[in-house]
Chains A and B, each alone.
Chain A
Amino acid sequence: MESKRWYILFIPLFAVIGFVVVYPVILSTYISFTSIDGTPTLSNYVAMVSTSTFWNALNISLLYSLTSTIVAIAIGLGLTFILTQELRGKGVFEVLYILPLAVAPIVVGVLFSPSSVWDDIQGFLHFVLHQPYFNELVPSFYFPVMFFSEAWEWSPLIMLVALSIVNGTAKEIYEAAELHGASAFQKFTMVTVPTIFRSPVMQFIVVLRFIDAMRAFEIPLAWDNWLGYTSTIGSPIDTISLYLYKLLFSSSLGFPIGVVSAVALTLFAITLVGAAVLLRLLKAVGG
């Protein structure tokens, strides 16, 4: 192919990225360094750094992102293990395991909130096993549930990618393990799993999941409504995205786009750094 002309084919891509991403990033940066009357200022960033809400939200977002990604990987690998064994009706199981992936995230938030899945469990515990009700509205309950529900939705994606990697690798790599009489489980943990993580595709998907989880919004929003925190900026469950949403649309604060832009850009920077670190880590461990 003529090596000079192919640059032209990239122009439409850069044009769209320029309008939809680059221009907003530049404008947001400008807004974040401007005060209401248009003068340049650092006050937005100062305000951001001195609010405890921001730091809480950052902690929660990081915890949310790391925990749900790790759990999604663990569950995804477990599902992969099941589907790589000799199993009757494997096709049916595969279909069932994919089901969570197509649920809208906002609905996932609702499903794992008190009124859907949990009141059935409460009912079962109370009326069948005669246990007392447990309190769902405390942080020690809803935080794990939020992280888990994010993992629930996306573990099938990890499973699909892992399966495609497994199907693409030659069977010879198991020979050494088989000679030593390894069980199916040992073969999986000692040969399959490292192969999966050595794949650049899996590393990519894991980082992608981390990035998307940092921006998680819908599941916290669902719980936010349940816990009655909709008008509380800086509630205990605010992830950064939720915090931004409340800041932006709270008319009582006069739509503070300066601070919102500052926080959003900071989230961008942190996510970028986190993703880069995670990628390096995965490459170092996986190879």
Chain B
Amino acid sequence: MSGAAAREQAKSSRRTRRILLYVVAILAAFYSFWPVLVMALEGYNIDLGVIFAGRAVAISIGGLTVAPKTIIPTAYYYMQALSIEAYPRLVANTLLIAALSIGLALAVGIPVAYVLARIDVRGKTFISYLLLALRTVSQFVVIIPLYIAYSSLGLFDTYTGIALAEQMLILSVVVWMLRGFFSDIPRDVYEAATVYGKNEWQVFRRVVFPMVIPGVVVTTMFALVLLWNEFLIADTLTSVGTRTVAVGVWEGMSLNQLSFSALAWDSLNAAGTLAYIPAIAAMLAIRKYLAKGFSLGMAR
């Protein structure tokens, strides 16, 4: 065919492909967003199934009723969750545990990450894989001995106790990410910085550490989201006193609730949405910096 016709055809096929791309992109956005939207709406007792039916309806599958019988949206569940002995208390607990836990992980992890980024030692990859191997340990291997130890040490249902136990979750992540950020500092900076002081500590304190503070912040926020959403360790080593957000969403927010109530989906979704808002805010705030944190100090 002639050159002009060929160009026309190429152009229209490009256009089709672009439309296809946008369609796929939007479908993917829908796939990501819709369950979150449902969670928020169900908290208001807004149920799309009911809307499609146009009336209050009970969808019954295999003998279980899975849809609400009313169609009146209400803010009741959100209000209930926001009362002072509910969600705010859980948030306070979780933040306190996070402060202790992440604080410990940073105190322990920063020196290690610094060394790993500085020293060309064969032990480098070994430590990464050691931390990975530690992560393969099932929580149940750890929970039983810790539960026994905590009972005699008086650490059960305490902030320190949980902060220590959660190290098995966040310590490896913290070391990995910090190492990525330390590695991001060019070698020349280390060399040039010896001008400032003869010993390593001064180089660290005056030059390196200020440069890595943004990385520490990113690491802290990522670890915070992990702790915020963690369920198993928090569930077994806490009781009502130090209950965290994730456990509270599941077990019910009020001080008097000790067990899961099977059909209280609306209050669970309301609580889940409240728990979600800070987590996604933190995740979105740090998303651009996560790449450096995940580099693990290795060449890409």
Contacts and interface: CB of A to CB of B under 8 A. Distances in A.
Interface of A: 1-3, 6, 9-10, 12-13, 15-17, 19-21, 23-25, 27-28, 31, 78-79, 82, 85, 87, 93-108, 110-112, 114-120, 122-124, 126-128, 133-137, 152, 156, 160-161, 163-165, 167-169, 183-184, 199-201, 204-205, 207-208, 211-212, 214-215, 217-218, 225-226, 240-241, 244-245, 248, 257, 260-261, 263-265, 267-268, 271-272, 275
B29, B164, B228, B265: residue with the most chain A Cβ atoms closer than 10 Å: B29
B81 to A, nearest CB: 13
A226 B249 CA distance: 16
A21 B168 contact: yes
B144 A123 contact: no
B79 interface: no
Contacts of A114: 61, 64, 66
Nearest to A110: B268
A94 B61 CA distance: 37
Contact of A19 (B115, B164, B291): B164
Contact of A99 (B36, B118, B165): B36
B108 interface: yes
B231 A3 contact: no
Contact of A16 (B31, B140, B171, B249): B171
- The size bracket of the interface on B is 35 or more
Contacts of A106: 229, 231, 246, 249-250
B217 interface: no
A1 B200 contact: yes
A106 B129 CA distance: 28
A104 B168 contact: no
B232 interface: yes
Task: Tell me the dominant secondary structure on chain B's binding face.
Answer: helix
B296 A204 contact: yes
B249 A104 contact: yes
Contacts of A98: 32, 280, 283-284, 287
A264 B141 contact: yes
Interface of B: 17, 21-22, 24-25, 28-29, 31-36, 38-39, 42, 47-54, 57, 59, 61-62, 64, 66-67, 104, 107-109, 111-112, 114-115, 118-119, 128, 132-146, 148, 164-165, 167-168, 171, 175, 200, 225, 228-229, 231-232, 245-246, 249-250, 260, 262, 265, 268-269, 272, 275-276, 279-280, 282-284, 287, 290-292, 294-296, 298-300
A137 B294 contact: no
Given A13-B109, A133-B59, A20 B140 contact: no
Given A107-B249, A112-B35, A164-B294, A95 B284 contact: yes
Given A102-B276, A240-B138, 8 more contacts: A13-B171, A93-B25, A98-B284, A103-B272, A116-B38, A127-B57, A241-B232, A261-B140
26 contacts: A6-B119, A16-B164, A20-B168, A20-B171, A102-B279, A104-B279, A105-B231, A105-B246, A116-B39, A117-B38, A120-B38, A120-B52, A122-B67, A123-B50, A123-B53, A126-B52, A127-B54, A164-B292, A200-B299, A201-B295, A204-B128, A207-B132, A241-B138, A244-B140, A248-B140, A267-B140
